[in-house]
Amino acid sequence: MRAVVLVGGEGTRLRPLTSTVPKPVVTLVDRPFLAYMLEWLARHGVDEVVLACGFLPTKLRDALGDGSRYGLHLTYVEEPEPRGTGGAVRFADEQLDGGLGERFLVLNGDVLTDLDLGAQIARHDEAGARGTLALVPVEDPTAYGLVRLGAGGAVAGFLEKPKIEEIDTNLISAGAYVLERDVLDLIPPDRNVSIEREVWPALVGAGLHGHAHEGAYWLDIGTPDRYLQGSSDILAGNVRSGVTERLDAHGIARGGDCVVDGHLHGPTLLGDGVHIAEGAVVGAHTVLGDRVRIEPGATVTAAVVLEDAVIGRGSTVREAIVAPGARIGADCTVTGGAVVGPGVVLGAGNVLDRGARVFPGVRLPDGALAF
Ligand code: GDD
Ligand code: MG
C-alpha cells in the first residue's frame, strides 16, 4: 500500500529551529523527525511512501535519501506552489505512475505516534468506509480538527479549529487517514484545497468514518514545548521507537568518543564526540548532539542541545532548546521553553525564559538580556 506524507508546511511555529532546516528533518533525539514516521509506517507493512513537499525539498532528500535505511521506498513530489492538505494529495496522485492506487494512506508529517494503523484499516474494511480518520483524545481541541462520532463509527460532524463554545467532545483527527480512490474526486484539481475544510465536511454522512485509538501515543510536534515533550517521551520509552533499544540499564546512550567527566542522569542520549567537563550535570530527559561541549559546572536538564553547540561554564539550561552551533557563554540561564537559534552567540550572564526565541545570526553581548 502507498502512503502520502504531507510535509509541505513551513513549520513557522518551530522557528528558529526550522529557520535553516525544514521541520520534517529537524533532529529529534538522534534522527530526523520524519524517520520516526517512516519507521512506524514500515512496521505496519507500508513499503512505498510519497513525500508531498513544498519547502526546501533538497534538504529533505539529502537527509532521507531513497528510504532504504527505513525499510521502504521514498518518492518526492514537489508542488509548484502550496496546494493545501487536500490539493497535495490530488497533485501527488497525478504525478505518480499508476497514481496512489485503489486504497492509500495519508499522514500529516508533523506527528509523532505509534498508533495501530492495522486496527484502523480493519475498521475501515468492516465499515465499508470511503475514508477513515484516526481519532485521539486531547485536552484542548481548539488547535485541531474536532470529530463528532455518530452511530457505528460514522463521522457525524467535522470542525477544523473549533471555537471553545463548539467543543462537545475531546476526540480530534490525528492526521492519519485510510482513503479509497474515489475520495480524490472530491478534490478539485490545480488549486489549493484544504482536506479538513473542504473534503471532510463533504464526506460527512457519505462514507466518512472514525477509529478512536485507545491508549496510543500521539503528539503534534509543531511547537517548541511539544518538541521538548516529544524528545522526553522518546527517551522515557513512552512512545515506541528505535531509540529505546540504544539506551543502557541506566537509560543512557552514548555515541563514540565521548568524554564524560561530569555527572549523567538517564534517560539521556549523547551523540558522538560529546565532552562533559568536570562538575557539569547532564540529564535527566536530555539530548546532547554530536560534538556538543558542556563546560565545567554547567547544568543541562530536560533540554535538547543540538550538534556543535557549547554551554558555557556555570550556565543552566533547563526545558529549553539550543540549536546547532549555538554558543552559550558563562553563567547564562536558558529555561522555560526558550529556543536559541542556529549559530547564535550568547555572551556571559544572559537570561532567557518564557519561550524567548533568538534567531540565527544574532550575537548578544554579555548581560544583554534578562527576559
Ligand atoms: N504538501 C503539502 N502542501 N503539505 C502541507 C500543505 C501544503 O500546502 N499545508 C500543510 N501541509 C502539511 C504540514 O506540513 C503538516 O505536516 C500537515 O500538512 C498538517 O498541516 P498543519 O499546518 O500542521 O495543520 P494543523 O496541525 O494545524 O492541523 C492538522 O493536523 C491536526 C493534527 O495534528 C489538521 O489535519 C487537523 O484536522 C488535525 O487535527
Ligand atoms: Mg500540525
Mutate which of 6, 51, 136 to test ligand 1's pocket (most atoms within 8 Å of Cβ)? 6
Nearest alpha-carbon partner for 95 in 74, 109, 78: 78
Radius of gyration of the chain (CA): 22
- Would you list the DSSP string of 162-197? --GGG----EEEEEEEEEEGGGGGGS-TTS---III
CB atoms within 10 A of CB 3: 24
- Give tens-digit pLDDT for 239-267: 999 999 999 999 999 999 999 999 999 99
pLDDT-derived band at 212 (thresholds 50, 70, 90) equals very high
What is the Å distance from ligand 2's center to 6 Cα? 10
Q: Residue 221 and residue 19: Cα distance in Å, rounded?
A: 16
267 lines ligand 1 (CB under 6 A): no
pLDDT-derived band at 237 (thresholds 50, 70, 90) equals very high
356 lines ligand 1 (CB under 6 A): no
> What pLDDT score was predicted for residue 12?
82
> What pLDDT score was predicted for residue 225?
94
Set of cell numbers at residue 356:
524567548
106 lines ligand 1 (CB under 6 A): no
Q: What is the mean pLDDT of residues 186-202?
A: 96
> What pLDDT score was predicted for residue 87?
97
88 lines ligand 1 (CB under 6 A): yes
Cα 332 to its chain centre, rounded Å, is 28
Q: Residue 293 and residue 305: Cα distance in Å, rounded?
A: 10
Closest atom of ligand 1 relative to the 196 alpha carbon: 37
What is the Å distance from ligand 1's center to 176 Cα? 11
**Is pLDDT of 281 > 80?**
yes
Q: What is the mean pLDDT of residues 18-33?
A: 90
Mean pLDDT (the chain) is 95
pLDDT-derived band at 18 (thresholds 50, 70, 90) equals confident
pLDDT-derived band at 56 (thresholds 50, 70, 90) equals low
Which residue minimizes the CA distance to atom 4 of ligand 1?
8
Q: What is the mean pLDDT of residues 19-33?
A: 91
Ligand closest to the CA atom of residue 144:
1
Which residue minimizes the CA distance to atom 1 of ligand 1?
8
Q: What is the mean pLDDT of residues 190-196?
A: 96
Helices 33-43, 57-64: axis angle to 10 degrees equals 60
333 lines ligand 1 (CB under 6 A): no
Peptide bond into 141 cis (omega under 30): no
Q: Residue 249 and residue 171: Cα distance in Å, rounded?
A: 37
What's the whole-model pTM score? 0.94
Ligand closest to the CA atom of residue 85:
1
Q: Is 29 left (phi over 0), alpha (psi -120 to 50) or beta?
A: left
Contact residues for 94 (Cβ-Cβ < 8 A; gap 6+): 189
Neighbouring C-alpha atoms within 13 Å toward the C-beta of 103 = 13
